[in-house]
Amino acid sequence: MEAPPYLVPHSQEDIRILYEDDHLLLVRKPDLLLSIPGRHPLNKDCLVTRLQVDYPSASIVHRLDLDTSGIMVIPLDKPTHAHISRQFQRREVEKSYHALVFGRVERDEGEIDLPIARDWANRPRQKICQAHGKSALTRYRVLERFEDRTRLLLSPVTGRSHQLRIHLRELGHPILGCDMYAHAEALGMAPRLMLHATTLGFEHPANGEWLEGECPPDF
């Protein structure tokens, strides 16, 4: 018997417009909102369909996971979409995230360089795989230490699916509230995934100037 489809909880939180011009938007995506429509008809509510009510030409050039909140860029025309897409492909876009992770991270900063592959037996999970995984690099820096958790600034050099979640698990400090890679104690320490896209910087396609948006976390 086929498993019933997963129905996404409908986020009641509004999308916040952080920046707007004739070519693009910078927005804050709430957690529990898909970036693009899901496959099931009841999972059509998402960031792009909501934005297209007021911005019919809005399109998606990158994504954040359902459970991740934070800043995204939304192109409003095809040339802008193509230009920003190339920047993502060339790894020219600069991104940073805030995360609350389990335990006290002792090193002030470091790198996690572990290849990631699909875990086909446990989809949609990913796994570390030295033989067949794609290269994945995450840089981290401690912002604040607490008794049972640490606030980190994360800078992913690559953009593999679930990269930050699985890398931090491998570091021994899973992200609080992560229902895929955290152990039970870390999962129970937060009401949501404590991962937020904080900054996004790239070359503006229209004028060639560097544009950087910031969206501080609310946790």
Query: What separation in angstroms does the CA of 128 have from each of 77, 112, 145?
Result: 37, 12, 27
Query: What separation in angstroms does the CA of 19 have from each of 31, 125, 160, 179?
Result: 19, 33, 27, 32
Q: Which of 55, 45, 40, 49 is nearest to 6 (CA)?
A: 40
The continuous run of DSSP H or E covering 169 comes out as helix 163-171
Residues annotated as catalytic (active site), given as ranges:
65
Q: Which of 38, 67, 103 is nearest to 180 (CA)?
A: 67
Which tokens in the block code for residue 104?
Answer: 């006290």
CB-count burial class (<10 Å; 0-12, 13-18, 19+) for 131: exposed
| DSSP 3-state of 51 | helix
